Structures are given as structure tokens and as C-alpha cells.
Amino acid sequence: MSRIVLLLSGIAPFVFATPAAAQPMDHAMHTSQPAPEAPTCAPEHAAMGHCTIDSAPAGEASDPDCPPEHARMGHCTPKQASAHDRTAMSEKPAASGTDLPPGDAPAPPPPEDWYADRIFPKDAMAHSRHEMMLENGAQQIGFISLNLAEYQARKGRDGFRWEGEAWYGGDIDRLTLKSEGETAFGEGIESGEAQALYSRAIGPYFNAQAGIRQDFGHGPDRTYATLGFEGLAPYWFEVEGALFLSNKGDLSARLEGSYDQRLTRKLILQPSAEINVAAQDVPENGIGSGVSDVELGLRLRYEIVREFAPYVGVEWTRKIGDTARFARAAGEDASSVSFVMGVKAWF
């Protein structure tokens, strides 16, 4: 028993001394080691959405050509901004565009801080911009369109018909020339006309036109003052109308329209209609008052290229009222059907 007591008395000092020695060591660890640094956000981690890059420290100037995230990756070196630049960047930018308050104040001047001027000489870029504006709105253009050039197979003598126009000018003002007519093989030109018109845009899709028209062919020639319009109506209907006042005081009008129905990218079905009206009888030209004649056509064309398209079709014409009576008196039919084959082209 005495041996056990002696053994316990020898171990006790070591048991109580160990916590006492460990306690100052633990405090030393807490007091002497520095606090861990806050985790940083590397650009590659930010790109994966793991963290967010802190914005530039307050007072640090931001270079638009070298954002902070690019500078941290070593892709560029930001420029040192002057005090004036830092003050300007701290100011709120002026409102523009849809941020402007409503009202009828004059529009703000267009911006002049062209980015290309930082790289190329300003004079060279100003000349380039001037040429670009000319090419996209102020240039003069010539255009020729042959809408109808067709052989007509019909009762009696077959014939040929044409209809086309040409114009030269800009987007607003143009000089326009139009011509149309038909012939009977072996008899020459049955009827024909030519128009010289001043055309001015009155909207995005319509032009107003004024000028003169000259008739030629069978019967007495007439010269007309012309006032009309042409354009693209809603749903892509091409429409055209005109009033004609002859040098003899005869007043007449014409309205026509067509529509291109694309069956495929190259195959197009075009219905068309034309109606002519006269204010009085003109017996020498075979025209009666009221609605003088109506024409309906249906043509199917194939665009080999956009500028060239052969077609086939059918056309029906009907003279009405006194015009039909004048035709019968001259031994002609009041109505006719023609099978047509021709080409549509533009240059």
C-alpha cells in the first residue's frame, strides 16, 4: 500500500503541471500569429462567377482604354488621369437620347467624338464621312425599268406591247420618263404615249409627279398636262394614278395597280388592273365619257436574276359605255383576250 501512495505522489506533479504549461502556449498562439489575409478575387475566378472583383479604390482614375480587370491581368497599363480628368469623370454625364425630358426643345448637336479619329487623321476621317453620307442619301442615280415587253396572241392580228420608265435623280427630286403603247403586226402603232415628269418624294413610299404627256399612233395626236402619283401602298401593292388635261380641254384620269405574289424565291405571280375614265366624249379618239375601259392581267414570271425575268400570262380588256359603242361602229370588238409572252428587266 505504501508503494502505491509513493507512486501516485510522484506522478501528481506532472499531471497538474501539463495544463499550466499548455495555457500560456495557447495564448501565445492567439496573440503572436497575424490574422489571415482577406481572400482575393482573381480575374479567372471572377470570370467563372466564383467571386466579384472589387472596384477601383476611391480616387483611382479609370482609363476607358484599360479597365481595372484588364490591368490586373497584365493586358494593359492604365494611364494616369490628371486632376481635371478626375473631376470631369466624377461629374454626372449630360442626358441624351431617350433620357432627355419630353418637350419640343431643339435636338442636341450630334456627337463629334469619333473613335476612328483616335487612330487616323481627323481630316482624312472627315472626308471619308462626307463621302459616306453622299453615297447613302445625296448621290444621283439613274434607273431604267422595262415592266412589259411582250408578244400578244389575240383574235385578229397579233401584236406587241411595251411599258417602261426611266428616271435620274436623288431620293427626293427626280426627272422621270415614261412610255407605253401597243402595235398590231402589219398595221404599225395602234396607240402610244410618252411622258416627261418632275417627280418629288412626298413620303417614304410615294412620289408626286407633274409634267406633260404626248400621244402618238392612230388618230389625232394630243398633248396633255399631267398631274399624278406613284408608290407602294400597304401590303406591297404598287399603285399609280394620274389626271390628264389635253390641249383641247379634254379631261381624263387613269388608275392602275399590281401585286407581286412570290410562289418561290424566283417564281412570281403578278395580278394587275387598270381603269381609265374620261370626263367627256372624244369621238375622234374613240373615247366615251365615264369609265371608258378596264384591263385585267395575270402574269407568271421567273427571275433568272433579279434584273431579268421572262414571263407568260393572259390579259383581258373591256371597253365600256360610249367607248364600246365607238369601237363597234369602227368594226372592232368591245372586249378581247390575249395570251402574252415577254420579259421584265431593269438596269
One-letter amino acid identity for 211?
Answer: G
264-303 residue pLDDT tens? 999 999 999 999 999 999 999 999 999 999 999 999 999 9
Domain over 141-346 is classified CATH 2.40.160.40: yes
- Cβ atoms of 321 and 289 closer than 8 Å: yes
With CA atoms as reference, report the closest residue to 195 among 254, 139, 238: 254
Return the DSSP state at 131. H
Residues of the chain with pLDDT under 70: 1-50, 52-64, 80-93
CB 261 within 8 Å of CB 270: yes
Q: What's the grid cell of residue 183?
A: 402595235
Domain range annotation of the chain: 141-346
pLDDT at 25: 43
What pLDDT, on a 0 to 100 scale, did the predictor assign at position 42? 64
Interatomic CA distance for residues 214 and 211, integer angstroms? 10
Is residue 225 classed as helix, strand or coil in its secondary structure?
strand
Evaluate whether 280 touches 290 at the Cβ level (below 8 Å).
Answer: no
Q: Hey, what long-range contacts does 154-162 have (CB within 8 A, 24 or more apart)? A: 154/336, 154/337, 154/338, 154/339, 155/333, 155/336, 155/337, 156/184, 157/184, 157/185, 157/186, 157/187, 158/184, 158/185, 159/183, 159/184, 159/185, 159/190, 160/185, 161/340, 161/342
pLDDT value at position 99?
78
Burial 46-62 (b: 16+ CB within 10 A, else e): eeeeeeebeeeeeeeeb
Query: Is the alpha carbon torsion for 225, 231, 234, 239 positive or negative?
Result: positive
* pLDDT at residue number 220: 84
Give residue 59's pLDDT: 44
Q: What are 171's three cell numbers? A: 431620293
Q: Which residues lie across from 344 on neighbouring strands?
A: 309
Handedness of CA 283, 288, 289, 292 (dihedral sign): negative
pLDDT at 235: 94
Q: What is the mean pLDDT of the chain?
A: 83
Which pLDDT value is given to residue 70? 74
